[in-house]
Amino acid sequence: MSDLAKTERFALAIDAMGGDDAPGMVVAGLALAAERHPGGRFLLVGDEARLRPLLAAHPRARAVCTVRHASEIITGDMKPTVALRLRQSSMRLAIDAVASGEAAGVVSAGNSGALLALAKIVVKTLAGIDRPAMAATVPSARGDVVMLDLGANVVCDSRNLVEFAVMGDMFARTVLGIPEPTIGLLNVGSEELKGDDRLRQAADMLRASPMGARFHGFVAGHDIAAGTTDVIVTDGFTGNVALKTGEGALRLMGGLLRQVFTGSLMAKIAYLLARTGLDRLREWLDPRRYNGAVMVGLNGVVVKSHGGTDALGFAHAVDVAMNMVTHGFTAGIAEGLSKVAERERLPAPGQEESLIEGLASPLAQAK
């Protein structure tokens, strides 16, 4: 494995040192991802002395990776303001590669706050987007749905929520392959009078926009699992609580099933009879399958992997990033925004209606 050639273009830059079990988990995950993306090239950024023995043990990962040494590490408890000053950290150098065009995207299982701060400052947001949002797919009775924001913006105004709806719409089209995704605004109930002024204003704006025909209205927490809409829009505080609650519920279900089918001899026999179906259920509900939250609204693909995941979960996060890169997700949003800019100047905060009329029209044509 040779030193990095500056002219080489990488699909993804990988923060090798982010995550509870990094860098071992990261390299093992890349070995799995290499089987699914044999044509992909990855810039692996981290402590070279620790990475080379791991890559020697994972020849598939070694074949698709080029190592770039990073002398610093952003820890999980480090404040974003401190992380921003570490110019030679693995996370910073990986993000720098995206900003310079050396890589199309980045995947990190490191500090969420630091990743968001670095992405906003280094990669920067797309023109016309006030704030990026964190989006991810979650399971439902009707298939996968996209939910955002999941923690990037704890406090949001109506403009932010409408922007999230536009970005979620594009996510559902390009990643989930849904041509006409329906949109719901998460609230304490589905009645029109529920919620605060911010939610009601966002709902009014969405109803009046070209997306209005696909705007379902308010949805409650149980609608997430029911798959009532393809896109669930909320603020980062509520979304993160809902996501963590769902993850906990899935783990509880798995633990209860183990107790039920190991409690007696008859239960064990029943498990053997139902094993095929239970294995399918376990695979479908495995939280690792949904690992990989995307920070949408940036000038590049930025994917946050769960810090406590294992190699399989990290491989899924790489899958998400590769899917976004392959389908031109960022270019799709940028194209829609550029069409708006050609017709009129993008509005300042408070001029939400003209923003939505402009954004939704070109995005509604994207397939």
CA nearest 46: which of 105, 7, 78, 93? 93
> Which strand ranges, in their side-by-side order, compose the sheet holding 231-233?
65-69, 42-46, 10-15, 103-108, 301-304, 293-296, 133-138, 145-148, 231-233, 183-186, 215-219
Indicate left, alpha or beta for 113 from its phi (over 0: left) and psi (-120 to 50: alpha).
Answer: alpha
User: What are the tens digits of pLDDT across the range 205-247?
Assistant: 888 877 888 999 999 999 998 999 999 999 988 988 888 888 7
> Phi and psi of 342, rounded to 5°?
-65, -30
User: What are the tens digits of pLDDT across the range 144-178?
Assistant: 899 988 887 888 888 889 888 888 888 888 778 88
User: What are the tens digits of pLDDT across the range 176-203?
Assistant: 888 899 999 999 888 777 878 899 989 9
**Gap between the Cα atoms of 276 and 141, Å rounded:** 20
Contact 228, 165 (CB under 8 A): no
User: What are the tens digits of pLDDT across the range 50-93?
Assistant: 999 999 999 999 999 999 999 999 998 899 899 999 999 999 99
Strands 231-233 and 145-148: parallel
User: What are the tens digits of pLDDT across the range 279-296?
Assistant: 777 666 666 777 778 888
pLDDT confidence of residue 232: 95
CB atoms near residue 184 (< 10 Å): 28
**Gap between the Cα atoms of 240 and 69, Å rounded:** 33
> Domains, the chain, ranges and CATH?
1-124+290-327 (3.40.718.10), 135-285+344-367 (3.40.718.10)
